[in-house]
């Protein structure tokens, strides 16, 4: 059975934005990983970035400062 855990999920318009997010977060020491976009958020087959819920403000600030666009930032169980 697949185990679920509450995560912060960031979805994107392009894979390029997802890769930019992964790199920016890694450079800042933020722990997260790219995962298949959860179907609750999108029926598209794109990738999303999953991180700890507590890092939401940091990630939001980081993406805004680096002008990395994203679609949504949502807390869900994945």
Angle among Cα 28, 34, 35 to the nearest 5 degrees reads 150
As given in the structure block, the two tokens for residue 14 are 């392009």
76 touches other proteins by CB under 8 A: no
**CA–CA distance, 62 with 56 (Å, rounded to integer):** 10
- Residues 12-71 touching other proteins, rule: CB under 8 A, are 12-20, 22-23, 34-36, 43-47, 69
**Which residue number, 50 or 57, has a Cβ lying nearer to other proteins?**
50
Interacting residues with other proteins (CB under 8 A): 12-20, 22-23, 34-36, 43-47, 69
């Amino acid at each position: 059975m697949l185990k679920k855990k509450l995560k912060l999920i960031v979805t994107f318009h392009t894979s390029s934005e997802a890769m930019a997010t992964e790199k920016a977060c890694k450079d800042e020491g933020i722990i997260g990983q790219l995962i298949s976009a959860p179907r609750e958020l999108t029926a598209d087959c794109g990738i999303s970035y999953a991180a700890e819920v507590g890092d939401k403000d940091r990630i939001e600030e980081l993406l805004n400062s680096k002008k990395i666009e994203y679609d949504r930032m949502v807390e869900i169980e994945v």
